Amino acid sequence: MRKAPRLAGLAPAVLVALAALFWAAGVGAQSEAPPTPVEQILLDNSELIQKSSRRTIGPAIDALASSGLPEAADVLRLWRERELYVRKSDGRFVRAARKGSAYELTNIITGAPMGEASRRDVDQIKPNSGIQAMIGAALVAFQLNDPDPAVRLRALQGIERDPEASHLTGLRAAIGRESDPFVQEAMARAERRLTIQFDEDEAARIAAIMSFAGDLDVSTRATLNPLLATHLAVREKSAPSDANVARTLTPGSDGFSYQAAYEILVNEGLAPKVITAAARDQALIAAIDDGSVAGVKVATLDTREARDAAYLRLADEGKVPHTMTEDEQFALLGNFIFEDVYSQSPAITDATNETIDAINMRVAMYEAADLALDGISLASIYFLAAIGLAITFGVMGVINMAHGEFIMMGAYTGYVIQLFIPDKTLSIIVALPVAFAITFAAGVALERLVIRWLYHRPLETLLATFGVSIALQQLAKNIFGTQARPLTSPDWLGGALVINDALSISYIRIAIFVLSVIFFLVLLFILNKTRLGLEVRSVRQNPRMAAAMGINPDRINMLTFGLGSGIAGIAGVAIGLFAKVTSDLGAGYIVQSFMTVVVGGVGSIFGTLAGATLIGFLQKGIEALNPSNTLAAQTYMIIFIIIFIQFRPKGIFALKGRAAEA
């Protein structure tokens, strides 16, 4: 009777607590947003998703992939990465983050909090590898159907970085729907590569392999080369084989030693392990009994043959393991065949080899074209360096050893101009005429002060100009120092014209080639269509007759030498754009310049062009045969030129008439 009042007093409190709990639950339930369309798809397929069976999961994945909802891709990723959970109380799919002994739940779409749950109240969705592959294929299809072409291209790049067999179906479906020709072509290439790697139909793989015949893309080789991977296999000679053999290895040749071959037999369990001589000797020492080993006196075991015979007796008695002599090893090796075996079928490897041969053939063609472009580029440089010398040496007959220093002066002029004009394009435009003016004036000064007193005395001229060249180099060192100075090309000359993966040429070399052509045409015009050119040709052919006609040979020689020097200055600006601008820059071109003029024909502009072309192609050809030794290439080139001059001493374009006699 006394307990009733106590229960009666507790009832209101219990009711209040229960009401509070129901109210809190109601508030919590009301705070959660209703399922989004994507979540509703998950709820509709909840049973299939939770079973995680590869045989039955297809409709659930297809429902998400075909929904057209942008959030579906994020849900598929969560599912694939095993970050998707289901709450048992209401079947809602959520994200769950561990928080102590419980989970903190959030909405899979919005990330909004959805309360906490114990570990028993949620189940993690754990798709196996097969389902993960199906989800990956659905994600690929999802990304490849994005309306933005850039997104579709990024999806392709991701596929090619990490290809999977599951990508193939989605990629093939996307190709037919693709409207952008560029993206469609990229998809088709990616589909063929994935076909090679993952398609189970051998005919389809072979067709895809053959479609890449002559393709120069580096990724194509990365796809084809693994098909030719081999592994070493060994079999008895009497055993039949249907393996796709790449080559047969002979022990003792082709870098395949007898020891390596025997170790393979041991690893395959086809031969006993070799016991070394030191190990056999240790076994003999351990078996010594009363001064004997297997009945043989220790004193008689002083040779290798005797110790091996004693070891054999112990092996026959079962006291030590058997080993094999070298003769026995050789005999055993003769019973086996060692082969490098392809992992692919003969049809696949034959198609791959044929395709790679076609690629190599095309690569060789483009490499030849690239070598030709290199030869033209080098010929352009030599022509620029030599054209000024062709005027001073070819027209005037003056051996100017300081010609290289005029090239160096032009390069330094370009460097100084860039110190005052930051714009690289404008600085080069300004540097070309300024370099011409400075080196023209320097050439005139050299001709007036030194060379005019040494005409028709070639040895003295050579020595005098050689001394001037040394003085100019030292002067440059005193002014600019010994470190290389930068002559920076404009940004639009910084790249390269890429024809394909095997053929490209830098824009700076194209610019030098164009500059060489311009100089060639300008000089032809000056020498053949102007009064100065007429007077130069007159003085070159017959100075006395030219003087009698009112032409001042002294003035013409001065202007001619200045013109040749000025052209060297312009060449220096061009060469300095890709070479190091130092005091000895010109010294690297003086020998080639003289060779160009002599081989081409002294006094001939066409000869200078021909000589530069011959020397440029010859040097690049020799370097291609011996790329690791450029000094040897230059040596061979000089030997060739010496032999060439023996048969054609006047060069390719020899002057005729009085000019030649002069």
- The predicted pLDDT at position 341 comes to 92
pLDDT tens string 121-173? 888 888 888 888 787 777 776 777 777 888 788 888 877 777 878 778 778 88
**Cα distance between residue 46 and residue 52, in whole Å:** 10
- The predicted pLDDT at position 494 comes to 79
Tokens 């994945």, residue located: 61
Answer for the pair 505, 377: CB distance below 8 angstroms, yes or no.
yes
For residue 250, pLDDT beyond 60: yes
Residues in the chain: 662
CA torsion sign, 566 to 568 to 570 to 576? negative
**Cα distance between residue 569 and residue 436, in whole Å:** 5
**What percent of the chain is modeled with pLDDT above 90?**
12
**Cα distance between residue 20 and residue 10, in whole Å:** 15
**Cα distance between residue 187 and residue 564, in whole Å:** 58
Task: Rounding to the nearest 10 degrees, give the CA dihedral for residues 503, 507, 510, 512.
Answer: -140
Distances (CA, A) of 201 to 165, 197, 208: 13, 11, 11
- The predicted pLDDT at position 628 comes to 65
- The predicted pLDDT at position 444 comes to 92
Classify residue 394 by burial, with Cβ atoms within 10 Å: 0-12, 13-18, 19+: buried
**Cα distance between residue 144 and residue 67, in whole Å:** 15
Confidence band for 19, pLDDT divided at 50, 70 and 90: very low
Task: Rounding to the nearest 10 degrees, give the CA dihedral for residues 53, 59, 60, 61.
Answer: 90
- The predicted pLDDT at position 255 comes to 79
- The predicted pLDDT at position 395 comes to 66
pLDDT tens string 268-302? 888 888 777 888 888 888 888 878 887 888 878 88
Confidence band for 31, pLDDT divided at 50, 70 and 90: low
3-class DSSP state of 122: strand
pLDDT tens string 335-345? 898 989 999 99
- The predicted pLDDT at position 435 comes to 93
Taking Cα atoms as reference points, which of 553, 566, 535 lies closest to residue 446? 566
Answer for the pair 209, 221: CB distance below 8 angstroms, yes or no.
no
For residue 661, pLDDT beyond 50: no
Confidence band for 258, pLDDT divided at 50, 70 and 90: confident
Q: Which residues pair with 253 in a beta bridge?
A: 256
For residue 13, pLDDT beyond 70: no
What is the DSSP pairing of strand 85-87 with strand 93-99? antiparallel
**Cα distance between residue 643 and residue 649, in whole Å:** 10
For residue 183, pLDDT beyond 60: yes
For residue 26, pLDDT beyond 50: no
- The predicted pLDDT at position 27 comes to 40
- The predicted pLDDT at position 412 comes to 93
Q: Where are the beta strands (DSSP E) in 324-371?
A: 336-342
Distances (CA, A) of 136 to 167, 189, 238: 7, 20, 48
Confidence band for 222, pLDDT divided at 50, 70 and 90: confident
Tokens 């060469």, residue located: 575
Residue 486 DSSP symbol: -
Classify residue 197 by burial, with Cβ atoms within 10 Å: 0-12, 13-18, 19+: middle
- The predicted pLDDT at position 113 comes to 87
Distances (CA, A) of 625 to 142, 501, 618, 621: 52, 22, 11, 7
The answer for residues whose C-beta is within 8 angstroms of residue 427's C-beta and 6 or more apart is 414, 417, 418, 420, 421
Task: Quote the radius of gyration of the chain (alpha carbons, Å).
Answer: 43
pLDDT tens string 519-564? 888 888 888 888 887 887 787 777 788 788 878 888 888 888 888 8
- Boundaries of every domain in the chain: 1-31, 32-131, 145-228, 275-323, 363-597
Query: Has this prediction a pTM greater than 0.75?
Result: no
The separation between CA 393 and the C-alpha centre of its own chain, rounded to angstroms, equals 45
Strand arrangement of the beta sheet that strand 245-249 belongs to: 230-236, 336-342, 245-249
